[in-house]
C-alpha cells in the first residue's frame, strides 16, 4: 500500500461538489486529477483554472488538473473520491472496475440511494467493485459546495468500517478552512446525507407556498425525529444523527438557497410539477430520486414517515403543496409525544 502522504488522489465527477472537493484536497497540499465528463469542461479547468458552469467566479488551484477520459484518471490512483449522481454510480463503477488498483480506497461523496435496489452508495461500491468495506469510506456533513469553494469555514465527517481508513481519508480531506472528523458509523453517516434531502424538499415546499419560519422550523424538527427513527432502525447510531452528517447537514440543506433539494422543494411549492422541476435544475437533486426507495424501506420495516409520505404525494400530484404543513406528524387528532 502506498505510504500516507504520497497517495495519488483522483476525483470522479466534475460537478460543483466534485470540483469543490478536489479544490479542498489541493488546498490541503496534495495534487488531484479530476475526471470531467465533457472535454470542454476539462479544457477550461486546465487552461483557465475555472469550472464556470458549476462554480462561477471561483479560481481553481494549479494543482488541480482534469481529464475527460476516465482511464488515465483511475489507473494508478490510490484514493478515489466518487462524486457522480447516485443513479449513475453503478454504471460508472462498472467502467472503472478493471482499472482500479488492488489496494485502492474508494470514498463516496454521493448522498443518495440507488433507486432500483435501495442500496446505499457504499453498498453499491462494494457490490460492483469487489473492494472490501474496510477500504470504502463515505464523507458527509454540511456541504454547500459554493460556500466551501469560497473557503468559508466548515467541517465534514468521514466514516468507514475501518478506523484506519477513515483516519487516512480525513487527513487527505482537510485544510485551513475545512476540518474532517471521523467515525465508524457508515450506515448513519450515509443515511444522514440521504434523509436530510427529503426534509429539505419539504422545507422548500412550505417556503414556496409562502409559509414562514414557524412552519419551516416545525418541519425541520419533526423531520429530524422522523429520519432519526428510520436511521436507528436501519442500524445507525444516535450520536451520528445529532452530528455533522445528521443535524449539521440538515440545517445547512434546509436553510441555504444554494441547496438543490431546498430549491427543488420550493419549485414544487410554487406549483411546478415534478417534470418541470427536474428540467429547471442544472444539477441533480438527489432527494427527488430517494423518496420512493426510502419509503419502501420504511414500509418494509414498519417505520412511519408521514413527512416523506406527503412529499411523495406532492411529487405525484396526490396532495397540494399547501396541504403538507398541517399534517406534520399525524393524520388524526390524537395527541402523541415528541
Positions annotated as catalytic residues are 196
CA 4 to centroid of chain Cα atoms: 26
Cα 110 from Cα 120, distance rounded (Å) = 9
Cα 264 from Cα 274, distance rounded (Å) = 9
CA distances, 303 to each of 29, 233, 247, 338 (Å): 45, 8, 20, 15
Strand order in the sheet with 64-67: 64-67, 32-35, 9-12, 79-82, 105-108, 136-140, 154-159, 178-183
Cα 66 from Cα 153, distance rounded (Å) = 26
CA-based nearest residue to 63, from 37, 100, 109, 28: 28
Sign of CA dihedral 121, 160, 171, 194: positive
First-last CA distance in the chain: 49
Cα 254 from Cα 250, distance rounded (Å) = 6
Say how many C-beta atoms besides its own lie within 10 A of residue 54's C-beta: 21
Q: Cα-flanking dihedrals φ and ψ of residue 191, to 5°?
A: -65, -30
Please say whether the beta carbons of 92 and 59 come within 8 A: no
Amino acid at each position: 500500500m502506498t505510504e500516507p502522504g504520497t497517495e495519488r488522489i483522483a476525483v470522479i465527477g466534475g460537478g460543483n461538489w466534485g470540483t469543490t472537493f478536489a479544490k479542498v484536497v489541493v488546498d490541503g497540499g496534495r495534487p488531484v486529477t479530476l475526471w470531467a465528463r465533457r472535454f470542454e469542461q476539462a479544457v477550461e479547468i486546465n487552461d483557465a483554472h475555472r469550472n464556470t458552469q458549476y462554480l462561477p467566479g471561483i479560481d481553481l488551484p494549479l494543482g488541480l488538473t482534469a481529464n475527460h477520459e476516465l482511464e488515465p484518471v483511475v489507473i494508478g490512483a490510490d484514493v478515489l473520491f466518487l462524486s457522480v449522481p447516485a443513479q449513475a454510480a453503478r454504471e460508472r463503477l462498472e467502467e472503472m472496475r478493471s482499472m482500479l488498483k488492488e489496494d485502492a480506497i474508494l470514498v463516496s461523496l454521493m448522498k443518495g440511494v440507488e433507486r432500483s435496489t435501495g442500496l446505499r452508495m457504499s453498498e453499491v461500491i462494494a457490490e460492483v467493485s469487489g473492494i472490501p468495506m474496510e477500504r470504502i469510506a463515505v464523507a458527509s456533513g454540511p456541504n454547500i459546495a459554493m460556500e466551501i469553494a469560497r473557503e468559508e469555514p466548515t467541517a465534514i465527517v468521514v466514516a468507514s468500517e475501518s478506523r484506519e481508513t477513515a483516519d487516512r481519508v480525513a487527513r487527505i480531506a482537510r485544510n485551513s478552512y475545512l476540518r474532517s472528523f471521523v467515525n465508524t458509523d457508515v450506515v448513519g453517516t450515509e443515511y444522514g446525507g440521504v434523509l436530510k434531502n427529503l426534509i429539505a424538499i419539504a422545507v422548500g415546499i412550505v417556503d414556496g407556498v409562502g409559509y414562514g419560519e414557524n412552519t419551516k422550523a416545525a418541519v425541520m424538527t419533526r423531520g429530524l425525529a422522523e429520519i432519526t427513527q428510520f436511521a436507528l432502525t436501519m442500524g445507525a447510531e444516535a450520536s451520528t444523527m445529532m452530528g455533522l452528517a445528521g443535524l449539521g447537514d440538515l440545517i445547512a440543506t434546509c436553510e441555504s438557497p444554494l441547496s438543490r433539494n431546498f430549491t427543488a422543494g420550493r419549485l414544487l411549492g410554487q406549483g411546478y410539477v415534478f417534470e418541470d422541476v427536474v428540467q429547471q435544475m442544472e444539477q441533480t437533486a438527489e432527494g427527488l430520486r430517494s423518496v420512493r426507495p426510502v419509503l419502501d424501506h420504511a414500509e418494509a420495516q414498519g417505520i412511519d414517515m408521514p413527512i416523506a409520505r406527503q412529499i411523495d404525494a406532492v411529487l405525484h400530484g396526490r396532495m397540494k403543496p399547501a396541504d403538507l404543513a398541517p399534517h406534520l406528524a399525524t393524520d388524526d387528532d390524537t395527541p402523541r409525544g415528541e
